[in-house]
Structure 1
């Protein structure tokens, strides 16, 4: 075992402990130990002590240089010994490099979890006594790029996804010195093993048929097969892209959005009976029952001129909103709406709201991708509770 000798003035040490911040004393002690370890390593490397002449000497001393080291107690500055040929390298920095890596990962985790740069700076300042600039946080965040890209481009041909959910949300991005809105396209699914998965995302211009088509083609390029059902809202471009890219796939209109559209057409007062009739339609378990309840509803209320628009909306979108009834009953509550994807969007929005405006499109893809990866990891071992 290596023996290290320290010459300490007990009175000075006692005074430091009694009258100084204990953290400062601990740091000073660690600096003393590590500097001594490096000095001993240089002696072993040279095979000669200071001012010693030996036949086995490898090199000669060449002073010191300062280098910072981040540890759990904070940042310390060490005096690193050098040699003339520059080949000597102390083991201290290699041994404690994991502290730097843990620090970087901690900052990245704070960023992904929606902690603002200002708060990150406050935390790092308390740990290390140094400020962190936005550019520093940004440069660290770029380390996520290869990780997010690998996840976002993983193959989708290893399992079948019978039910897919699609939606878009809007964010603000700086582009050519202007702040513009961009659409983030997200697709999730229930796989053949009844597990939920996040299939992918894409940041594109405003929601349109062409943009949705590009998104679906991107998923297909990764091996996605046509599902049995795609659940979404009634965006015209989205509907057209589904029909174009997924031959044989049925479109399911989100029942939550659909009912909301109908309710918005209703008068504000004395509509309790009408609302009960509408809810009865969408509580049906069989397609035949839903159609029967819908016809009864129209017969009961079609003579009321105040309900003309609501009945028209119901009649136009009804068949698209009950396609989930053609599948086993155990899936109905999970595939009749995009509620699960809406909750996912809310989680992304919660963390995106801290940033408010992304500096560029890649930074948006990076952060939202990292958030989705984090959520996907939590979901990986969960299955929907099929009764």
Structure 2
């Protein structure tokens, strides 16, 4: 589809949008259509034949399964295609995936700003009208904590010819109040 046709289609569709809620609903519908089309294309590639064409093997389409996916504009209900032998592993939206990964970065950003898991849950409910469990928030932040701990405990070189050191004072939440803390930074260059 060329840009001129796309702009004409967008102009036609925009006529029905009157409020922000209309825009969010339209965005969710567009996301749903795009993701479902991409998932169907993935299944076609996996099976090696188009829908309703002669089969090249014993594996065929086997309907759809329904899943709720949390995205930037709220929750969308997806129909994910299945194959009869259950060998299809979608890459765009993986099995058991319940949110688009951009949400993880938003969760981490809110957590880094000092919000508790319950405050993050309330923020997601208010912003996206989406029910995100405190357990999910904890899983996302715990995964990052593990990566940070791994990085902090890595083996360092014995000698660094150049070392830069600096300090920055940041506000952090500690025991329910905001205090100033000094963060010392050291950068060692070994080449």
Indicate the TM-score class for this superposition, using the shorter chain for normalisation. 0.5 to 0.7
Q: 1:129 to 1:155 in 2, by over 3 A?
A: same
1-structure distance, mates of 2:81, 2:127: 27
Residue in 2 that maps onto 1:130: 130
Instruction: Give the structure with higher Rg (CA).
Output: 1
Contact 1:62 1:83 in 2 (8 A): yes
Structure 2 CA distance for aligned equivalents of residues 153 and 55 of structure 1: 53
Q: Which has the higher helix share?
A: 1
The 8 Å contact of residues 69 and 78 in structure 2, kept in 1 or not, is answered as: yes
For residue 100 of structure 1, give the secondary structure of its aligned residue in structure 2: coil
* Structure with greater contact order relative to length (CA < 8 Å, sep ≥ 6): 1
Please give the secondary structure, in 1, of the residue aligned with 2:59: coil
Aligned to 1:104: 104
Question: Counterpart of 1:351?
Answer: 173
Quickly say closer, same or farther: Cα 1:150–1:55, change in 2 above 3 A.
closer
Note the alpha carbon deviations across 1:96-149, whole angstroms, 9 max, x for none. x8x733322321232232123343123222444223343332232221332332
In the TM superposition, structure 1's runs of 4+ consecutive aligned residues that sit over 4 Å from their partners are 13-16, 154-157
**Displacement after TM superposition at 1:78 (Å):** 0.9
Q: TM-score, normalised by structure 1?
A: 0.35
SS at match of 2:88: coil
Provide the C-alpha distance between the structure 2 equivalents of 1:132 and 1:155, rounded to a whole number of angstroms.
37
**Cα deviation 1:236-265 (Å, max 9, x = unaligned):** xxxxxxxxxxxxxxxxxxxxxxxxxxxxxx
Local SS of the residue matching 2:100: helix
Is the 1:74–1:128 Cα contact (8 Å) retained in structure 2? Answer: yes
Look up the match of 1:49. Answer: 51
Three-state SS of the structure 2 residue aligned to 1:145 is helix
The Cα of 1:22 is off from its aligned counterpart by 1.6
Q: Equivalents in 2 of 1:157, 1:48: separation in Å?
A: 55
- Quickly say closer, same or farther: Cα 1:105–1:43, change in 2 above 3 A: closer
Structure 2 unaligned regions, length at least 5: 2-12
Q: Distance in 2 between matches of 1:71 and 1:25?
A: 13
What does 1:1-387 align with in structure 2 at a 5 Å threshold? 17=17, 21-44=22-45, 45=47, 47-50=49-52, 52=53, 54=54, 56-93=56-93, 100-154=100-154, 158=158, 193=163, 195-196=165-166, 347=171, 350-354=172-176, 375-376=183-184, 379-380=185-186
Q: Distance in 2 between matches of 1:157 and 1:88?
A: 45
Q: How many residues align?
A: 168
Structure 1 residues 63-109: Cα deviation after superposition (integer angstroms, max 9, x where no partner): 11112334333332210111110112334316xx8x73332232123
Name the CA shift for 1:104/1:61 in 2 (closer, same or farther; >3 Å): same
Take 1:355 and 1:140, find their aligned partners in 2: how far apart are those partners? Answer: 24
- Can you list the C-alpha shifts for 1:137-185, whole angstroms capped at 9, x where unaligned? 223222133233234434577459xxxxxxxxxxxxxxxxxxxxxxxxx
Distance 2:23 2:100 in 1: 23
TM-score, normalised via structure 2 length: 0.63
Instruction: Tell me, in whole angstroms, the C-alpha distance in 1 between the residues paired with 2:164 and 2:23.
Output: 55
Where is the strand percentage greater, Structure 1 or Structure 2? 2
